Amino acid sequence: MPTNADDKKASAKPKKAPQKRRRKASDDPWDHVPSFSAPKAEHPRLVKAQRLATDFVHAGFHTDPPTGAVVPPVHLATTYAQSEPGKHQGYEYARTLNPTRKVFEDAMRQVEGGKRGLAFSSGMAATDALLRLVRPDEHVVASSNLYGGTHRLFNQILSHYGLTFDYADTRDTEKLAAAIGPDTRMVYLET
């Protein structure tokens, strides 16, 4: 028969923290893309602290499963086979993604601590992709000191699709704040 002391011992046991739900492949639209990234350790003490240079050398790549290579291979293929039409196996064409670029994107994501890493062939390609997040009738505040190609993209092309742009001296936070309005979707800066 339990005593009052036994009841206190039973109630003093620490409660386990609720388990976090593990992500499923269906939670992430990019999970179908193969990756050579090493799995992250669950506990911080299991990972030895590394300097940034070490992270740059080792991020995004563990080993190449088919060959065991410890240095990322350079994949030059332009087209990838599918087991049947419409059955995606991770890669289709090099212009959309290839294993070499995936390793680089994973490395940048890991070093920067982001959720995704995306690589583009040029700064203008990256800028154009970023501005696709802005819908017609939405507003962008941009730095008044932009690359000429960016300025032309904004004023001569994207403005015809209903995007509006204002420019501010982004070194002055008061001027920047004054340029932001209720329809502002993005503040665009270049370094």
Q: Is the dihedral of CA 10, 13, 17, 22 positive or negative?
A: negative
The number of beta carbons lying within 10 Å of the beta carbon of residue 17 is 6
**For every one of its 191 residues, what pLDDT tens digit does the chain have, with 9 covering 90 and above?**
555 555 555 555 555 555 544 445 455 545 555 554 444 444 444 455 667 777 777 777 778 777 888 888 888 999 988 888 888 788 888 888 888 899 899 888 988 888 999 999 899 999 999 999 999 999 999 999 999 999 999 999 999 999 999 999 999 999 999 999 999 999 999 98
Q: Are 118 and 125 in contact (CB under 8 A)?
A: no
Q: Which of the 8 DSSP states describes residue 95? A: T
Q: Is 105 exposed, middle or buried (0-12, 13-18, 19+ CB in 10 A)?
A: buried
Encoded amino acid at 13, one letter = K
Predicted pLDDT at 65: 79
User: C-alpha dihedral over 176, 179, 184, 190, to 10 degrees?
Assistant: -40
Which segments of 64-143 does DSSP mark as H helices, in order? 99-112, 123-131
SS3 at position 162: coil
Q: What is the helix (H) or strand (E) element at residue 164, kind and residue range?
A: strand 164-168
* Distance in angstroms (rounded) separating the CA atoms of residues 31 and 24: 9
For the chain, the domains span: 30-119, 133-188
Cβ neighbours of 180 (radius 10 Å): 13
- What is the pTM assigned to this prediction? 0.62
Which one, of 175, 116, 124, lies nearest residue 146 by Cα?
Answer: 124
Nearest alpha-carbon partner for 166 in 182, 150, 156, 155: 155
Q: 10: phi > 0 → left, psi -120 to 50 → alpha, else beta; which?
A: alpha
Which one-letter amino acid corresponds to residue 116?
A: R
What pLDDT is recorded for position 73? 84
